[in-house]
Amino acid sequence: MNLKEIIQITWLSLLVSGAAVSLAMLVGLPAAVLLYLKKFPGKRLVVSLVNTGMGLPPVVVGLLVAIMFWRSGPLGFLGMMYTPAAMVIAQFIIALPLVVGLSLTALEQVDPEVLLQARALGANAWQTVRVLFRESRMGQLAAIIAAFGGVISEVGAVMMVGGNLKGYTRVLTTAIVQETRMGNLRGAVYLAVILLTLSFFINLFLTSLQRKGVSRWKGPSWK
Amino acid sequence: MERPELEVRNLKVAASGRKILDVSYFDLRKGECLALFGPNGSGKSTFLRIISLLQRPDSGEIYYQGQAVSPENREELRRKIVYLLQKPVFFRGTVHDNLLLGLRFRQVDRAEQQTRLERISGLFNLAPLLGRFPDELSGGERQRVHLARAFILEPEFLYLDEPFNGLDVQFREEIMSDFYRIRKSLGITTILVTHNREEAVNLADRMAVMLSGQIVQAGSLEEISEAPATAEVSRLMGQEALVEGVVEKSDDGLLEIRAHGQSIYAFGKQRKGKRVVLTFRPEEVILAPERPASSVRNWFKVEIKEIRPFERMVLVLMDCGFRLKALVSRTSVEELGLKPGTEIWAGIKATALTTWPGLEEMNSSENENE
């Protein structure tokens, strides 16, 4: 395995997991707000499902996505099986319940009186949601850290829907499996170190944002 | 007559089958400060949330400046109102950020934000606090910032939920006087929720009494003090229940009431044989070492049970078969050598006692009304 290949694998890992988590945030954060603010029949059931989803085995997700995108499957005509797009979708499904569940928990930690006071000072619906996120920022970052950590280290689903195609869908985790299988333990260890380092720096970055959040009780003003 | 700034009709709120609010009529006039007075749990905060348009009632109409509140104008009207919760909750950021937040919600331009900030920090003396964080402030400072962030919005309506609660006496007086001065200078129509008589007397032009979700009486402070609508209002206005007894004699309005083996004289309309409750103000009770010759009809030999400070006065709790309270000055306590266990004489004029139908009579008359 040459350096170019390693860089390409690392870059794809970041791209797939980054895209999956970004999509999960795009869908999951508004969903958490709706779950927090709206009362509707079956809400408790939905929350239980989300919580169950937080422990969804990646292999099962991989299987479901594979069934959908299999040539004869309902979405087979899209030709997405064994593509990075399918990997993003699988990781998105893994990340979504983590983002929704943990974000909802963070929102529930906000003192309801803070929201009431914001509205009583004239905040409209959108401004109230912004206050809600600002006040629960640390928890929201924790949700993102957990989701990213969950998907970047996941192997089952990406293996099943990506197929570990060299130069196309091979990511760090599937490459480690591949190298180990081939008896190239040294190569596997190199990749593992890269994965761990990557994971460490991304978490360090997110945690530093979160810590800033702590001191931002004393932080820059609301803009 | 000029139309009230706020009118509320037939407002009803219930939760799990229990009536929380039932206000048939309430109004607020331009520029006035109305004290909404009532015990804890009487529905005052729910009422404020509803008239602040933050919560919808089950039924009823609300009119602001003659305009009925509707889904179309709700948001626009809501921005004319500022409601301050009882507990001062702050948002992330400094005092400066917290003060400006409401203006930012209203998208007031920066130059105007700055002008108002300077004006309000001057009025509330907040300049040294602007760069600090809410968790670094003392209770009094927090309360001042809490009030200031309402005034900075220059609302047409200001609703305050017990804004001076939990402050020590010195801070309270300071903040109350700031509030009075600033409110007057800006002429904001205000509701001040309180269960403190002193606040109502010092700050409000008018008063409404809320009991069990209903406005039982509204009027000037004098009107309510002099002619409370119910025994509960009377008690809220600082009258204490003395004792329940039976009318033994009624002579042209002067009643002789028998209670706990003693005869008590009071004025009232009740007939002989009826049960009555007597109420009084502790400040009307006279204490003397010996029973003096005087025009006071009621004298009781009492034993002092407890002496405790109350605002600037001293509250003396006594027993003479029933409990009696007197509010006297510290000097009187010293001069009379009052201490727990001593026996003295307590007097109260017949005219200082108010008679109310006894509890049984009251319940039966309520049933008749139903």
Identify the band that residue A219 occupies on the pLDDT scale cut at 50, 70 and 90.
Answer: very low
What is the Cβ-side half-sphere exposure of residue A46, based on CA atoms within 13 angstroms?
13
Pairwise CB contact (< 8 Å): B106 & A220: no
Tokens of B314: 């001293």
**B357 inside domain:** yes
* Residue B233 placed within a domain: no
Strand pairing report for B33-37 and B189-194: parallel
Residues 6+ positions from A42 with CB-CB distance below 8 Å: none
Size of interface A-B (CB pairs under 8 A): 71
Q: Are B62 and B187 part of one and the same domain? A: yes
Per-chain mean pLDDT for chain A: 91
3-state helix, strand, coil in chain A (%, to 5): 80, 0, 20
Structural domains in chain A, sorted by start: 3-218 (1.10.3720.10)
Mutate to test the interface with A, among B82, B84, B86, B91 (most CBs of A within 10 A): B91
3 state SS of B66:
coil
Same domain as B100, residue B167: yes
- Of A116, A121, A221, which is closest to B93 when you measure between CB atoms? A221
Closest-CA distance, B58 to chain A, in angstroms, reads 17
Given a cut of 50, whether residue A218 has pLDDT beyond it is no
Residues β-bridged to residue B67 = B64
Helix, strand, or coil (residue B5): coil
- A134 close contact with B: CB closer than 8 A: yes
Q: How far apart are CA B328 and CA B359, in angstroms?
A: 30
Q: Which helix (H) or strand (E) holds B159?
A: strand B157-161
Q: Please indicate whether, in this complex, the C-beta atoms of A113 and B89 are within 8 angstroms of each other.
A: yes
Residue B15 CA to residue B165 CA, distance in Å, equals: 27
Q: Which residue of B has its CA nearest to A220?
A: B93
- Rounded CA separation B13/B9 (Å): 12
**Which chain B residue shows the shortest CA-CA distance from A114?**
B89
- Residue B312 domain-assigned (yes or no): yes
> Do residues B68 and B206 share a domain?
yes
Q: From B227, B249, B279, give the residue that closes a domain.
A: B227
pLDDT band at A214 (very low <50, low <70, confident <90, very high): low
Place of tokens 């206000």: B23
pLDDT of B177 reads 83
What pLDDT digit, counting tens, does each position of A42-85 carry? 999 999 999 999 999 999 999 999 999 999 999 999 999 999 99
pLDDT for the residue B320: 87
% helix, strand, coil for chain B, step of 5 = 30, 35, 35
From chain A, the residues in CB contact with B83 under 8 A are 120
Q: Alpha carbon of A153 to those of A58, A196, B358, B364: distances in Å?
A: 11, 9, 77, 76
* Among B145, B159, B169, residue whose Cα is nearest residue B35: B159
Per-residue pLDDT at B368: 39
Q: Do both B198 and B266 map to the same domain?
A: no
Q: What is the pTM of this model?
A: 0.74
In a domain, B361, yes or no: yes
Give the CATH number for residue B299: 2.40.50.100
Q: Say whether both B195 and B65 belong to one domain.
A: yes
Distance CA B316, CA B327 (A): 6
Nearest CA in chain A to B97: A221
Question: Chain B within 8 Å of A118 (Cβ-Cβ)?
Answer: yes
CA distance B103 to chain A (A): 9
Alpha-carbon distance of A136 to A213, in angstroms, equals 9
Number of helices (H), then strands (E), belonging to chain A: the values are 10, 0
Amino acid B15: pLDDT:
87
CA distance B314 to B310: 5
Calpha distance B213→B231 (Å, rounded): 17
Residue-level pLDDT, tens digit, chain B, 370 residues: 678 999 999 999 998 888 999 999 999 999 999 999 888 888 999 999 999 999 999 999 999 999 999 999 999 999 999 999 988 999 989 999 999 999 999 999 999 999 999 999 988 889 999 999 998 998 888 888 998 999 999 999 999 998 887 677 777 777 888 888 888 888 899 999 987 777 887 788 899 999 999 999 999 877 887 778 887 888 777 777 677 889 999 888 899 999 888 889 998 888 888 888 888 888 889 999 999 888 898 999 999 998 888 767 888 999 888 888 898 998 999 999 998 999 999 999 998 888 877 755 544 444 433 3
Let me know whether B64 and B172 are in one domain: yes
- Strand, helix or coil for residue A144: helix
C-alpha A80 chain-centroid distance: 21
Q: CB B54 to CB A122 under 8 A?
A: no
**DSSP letter, residue B68:** E
- Contact status of A125 with chain B (Cβ, < 8 Å): no
Q: What residue numbers bound the domain in which B27 lies?
A: 6-227
Instruction: Give backbone dihedrals phi and psi of B324, rounded to 5 degrees, phi first.
Output: -140, 145
Closest to B311 measured CA to CA, from B204, B179, B173, B174 = B173
Q: Domain for residue B86, yes or no?
A: yes
Q: Which of B195, B227, B259 is the last residue of a domain?
A: B227
> Would an 8 Å CB–CB cutoff place A217 in contact with chain B?
yes
Q: At a CB cut-off of 8 Å and minimum separation 6, what does B259 contact?
A: B243, B244, B245, B246, B278, B322
Does the CB of A128 have a partner CB in chain B at under 8 Å? no
Evaluate if residue A33 carries a pLDDT over 90. Answer: yes
| Residue B232 in domain | no
Q: Is A222 on the interface with B (CB under 8 A)?
A: yes
Give the pLDDT score at A222: 41
Residues B107 and B217 in one domain: yes
Residues of B with CB under 8 A from a CB of A: 49, 52, 54, 75, 78-79, 82-85, 87, 89, 91-94, 96-97, 100-102, 104-106, 133, 135, 149-150, 153
DSSP assignment of A169-198: T--HHHHHHHHHHTT-HHHHHHHHHHHHHH
Q: In whole angstroms, what is the distance from residue B267 CA to residue B278 CA? A: 10
- Per the structure, the count of domains in chain B is 2
On whether both B261 and B176 belong to a single domain, the answer is no
Q: Give the C-alpha separation, B319 to B296, whole Å.
A: 19
B10 shares a domain with B150: yes
Determine whether the interchain pair B92/A119 forms a contact, defined as Cβ–Cβ distance below 8 Å.
Answer: no
Clarify whether residues B298 and B356 are in a common domain: yes
H helices then E strands: how many in chain B? 11, 20
pLDDT of residue A223: 36
User: Based on the domain organization, do B114 and B69 belong to the same domain?
Assistant: yes
Asked if residues A52 and A178 have their Cβ atoms less than 8 Å apart, the reply is no
Q: Which residues of A touch B158 (CB under 8 A)?
A: none
Does A119 sit within 8 Å of B54, measured CB to CB? yes
* DSSP secondary structure of B174-231: HHHHHHHHHHHHHT-EEEEEES-HHHHHHH-SEEEEEETTEEEEEE-HHHHHHS-SSH
Does B218 share its domain with B308? no
Q: How confident is the model at residue A184 (pLDDT cuts 50, 70, 90)?
A: very high
| Chain-chain contact of B54 with A220 (C-beta, under 8 angstroms) | no
Where a domain ends, among B171, B199, B227? B227
